Structure 1
């Protein structure tokens, strides 16, 4: 067997294998790929603690070491120069210019972190450097070596994500020039050998700006660490015992708040008219902030944090994803697909994944139509079962580990790289 490919994998924030949200799930899914290909790869991980807030505890580092060979943490909280350097940018842009930080700012990668990163590169001979998120691009954007491939997994198009921030109180009064920042983003991405998008929608946007051999679509690997690839084969839809009609899972963020409130305010009353005992289960931190008319309180079950969602998915007739803003792939949608759940979603949410209205999901932005589609799946179990079968097939072809691993293999072991 040929020599293993050596990878330096950057960790954007501290993560735990026990916490599978959109961000964590994406990073953990990639680490799982490298672990499952450990006969082909040797992987070191690198991360950094923020000033005054050490996040990479010894326990979290030990958990990540289950999937990589070594982990190196930059103790940024000990570097006052980095603190002043980053905060000076924040003051200049947000307070003096009254604008959001530019997308190509090195706020998250001050000089001390870059030096730590470069020193690690100098000590070891890596074949690949993998960066997560544009905020950390400056760690590797200036590397030039014929023997080193630089890869960035953007997670989201940052200039689109920052538009969403304008709906958050902290950023409402800050200016943001989307066109100028998108151009900055493209210029930064062009410095990398490979750029990875996780949604078809964002790939289509970037494809107009980046060469085809540089840009790759790698969907979410939802299974990450917990074997969801097999969940869609666990209990056929017709054999499930339902406790809830609809399930919504979400963290407490602006797109989730707006989306679930749209459903509760405009669709739920119409559904309850047809089915007075209709039950909506809401899981995750979003549970603490939802509002509903008192007359509809009996139709809502706020579960808060649920450590194991598997049972909850299988006890729900269908999943809703009524989000109308946000960037990137909606992790909750792909997770629902892993459980072969019938889905009712919006055009915005569906744009990132392979959902087709009336074939493997219902997709609409109209409140009355949204209520009608949910009611149809509740009252037509045969239709819901057909959707379950179709969504299971879509998941297997697009998001199961075998499908995504094949796409990743093509990046690492293509014609220009020695195959193993």
Structure 2
């Protein structure tokens, strides 16, 4: 089988777990390393953990790193040009639109791929709706003008894919985030609500909304809210009644063990929420906002429950706490939904299929 030479450029410190981008990047690298002669370029200075992580990878690939923290763009373009001359890639894959400027360092004739992660214009629009400061002002038309420069554009969920493919056609590939976990056993009378997240601003806003607006309604149920991930470090020293600080849990099976209901109360953002996919794949009944299940709307009411108002969110959770059979049915549907939609084979087939044609 032909193994094209692929250069993947990312600024994610993916060897440090704990956020959705790192999780997505590791999965993509594993898939690419299995199918291509892969070199990963991390343009910034890396720490000691990077090399050890590469050594533990299930597939062999090379990691090339920069020698400065946040180097200037001109220097990065030159580094890209030099690296391409050395390895002569068939394909260059850039992670996130913020790295688009590196196209200037890619020789003519090399196929270009952009992994969007999410749409920058959607993120900006979502922030504006919630009154959150916009970091990057970019309209959808402007974003498409950038994406039109690429041979293939990877989108992470069906809604993004449909909108991009309406303009770019077959150049748009839907490549969601894969996850495969064993289903959690449903515990009769279980009362643990689980949330996991990084310290990303949208996660902080969502958790605070839940604590302020939803959690007071649930106190009479006797439930416990277990907060995991680096976001737990931001909880106050005197924890709210019923809240438990778990901290960072590196193993996904351990993370969701002992959880009876998962939540994702994120209020704004874009793309696919990795914590949502992980909870579904663990076979957990999930209650989430519309933003928390963006792109998965076909599963609402069957594979998970969706609620955007505090009272509705609380009622959805309370109903599940009171009905073991309903929790079990939702859990089974969640696991089946994830198995159908988010196995590695399903998620990466469009990309690997295209690579095999080169």
Q: TM-score, normalised by structure 2?
A: 0.89
* Cα deviation 1:62-119 (Å, max 9, x = unaligned): 422534432222224596xx3xxxxxxxxxxxxxxxxxxxxxxxxxxx1111111111
Distance 2:51 2:129 in 1: 35
Distance 2:80 2:191 in 1: 49
| Structure 2 residues not aligned, in runs of 5+ | none
Q: Give 2:292's aligned residue.
A: 349
| Structure 1 residues not aligned, in runs of 5+ | 83-109, 223-228
Answering whether residue 112 of structure 2 is matched by residue 122 of structure 1, we say no
Distance 1:176 1:145 in 2: 29
Q: Give 2:178's aligned residue.
A: 221
Q: Give 1:13's aligned residue.
A: 12
**Which structure's CA Rg is the greater one?**
1
Distance 2:321 2:130 in 1: 35
Specify the SS of the correspondent of 1:44.
strand
* Cα deviation 1:281-313 (Å, max 9, x = unaligned): 111222233469x9x933111222233342341
Higher RCO, Cα 8 Å, sep 6+ = 2
Specify the SS of the correspondent of 1:298.
coil
Q: How does 1:184-333 map to 2 (within 5 A)?
A: 184-208=142-166, 210-222=167-179, 229-232=180-183, 235=184, 237-238=185-186, 240=187, 244-273=191-220, 275=221, 277-290=222-235, 297-333=240-276
Q: 2:24 aligns with which of 26, 49, 68?
A: 26
8 A contact 1:396–1:403 mirrored in 2: no
Specify the SS of the correspondent of 1:358.
coil
Q: Given the superposition, is the C-alpha separation of residues 203 and 141 from structure 1 closer, same or farther in structure 2, using an over 3 Å criterion? A: farther
* Cα deviation 1:185-213 (Å, max 9, x = unaligned): 222111110011112232234344x3211
Distance 2:97 2:10 in 1: 12
Distance 2:269 2:43 in 1: 26
Distance 1:164 1:254 in 2: 13
Q: TM-score, normalised by structure 1?
A: 0.77
Answering whether residue 153 of structure 2 is matched by residue 158 of structure 1, we say no
8 A contact 1:342–1:384 mirrored in 2: yes
Answering whether residue 316 of structure 2 is matched by residue 373 of structure 1, we say yes
Specify the SS of the correspondent of 1:8.
strand
RMSD between aligned alpha carbons? Answer: 2.9
Q: Give 2:54's aligned residue.
A: 64
Q: Given the superposition, is the C-alpha separation of residues 186 and 76 from structure 1 closer, same or farther in structure 2, using an over 3 Å criterion? A: farther
Q: Given the superposition, is the C-alpha separation of residues 410 and 291 from structure 1 closer, same or farther in structure 2, using an over 3 Å criterion? A: same
8 A contact 2:18–2:248 mirrored in 1: no
8 A contact 1:9–1:129 mirrored in 2: yes
Shift in Å at residue 161 of structure 1? 3.0
8 A contact 1:340–1:388 mirrored in 2: yes
Distance 1:151 1:321 in 2: 31
* Cα deviation 1:229-261 (Å, max 9, x = unaligned): 2423xx5x33x4887521111112321122122
Distance 1:175 1:339 in 2: 34
8 A contact 1:218–1:404 mirrored in 2: yes
Answering whether residue 341 of structure 2 is matched by residue 398 of structure 1, we say yes
Q: How does 1:406-417 map to 2 (within 5 A)?
A: 406-413=349-356, 417=357
Specify the SS of the correspondent of 1:140.
helix
Q: How does 1:160-175 map to 2 (within 5 A)?
A: 160-162=122-124, 172=133
Specify the SS of the correspondent of 2:240.
helix
Distance 1:114 1:168 in 2: 36
Shift in Å at residue 376 of structure 1? 1.1
Distance 1:166 1:395 in 2: 31
8 A contact 1:47–1:73 mirrored in 2: yes
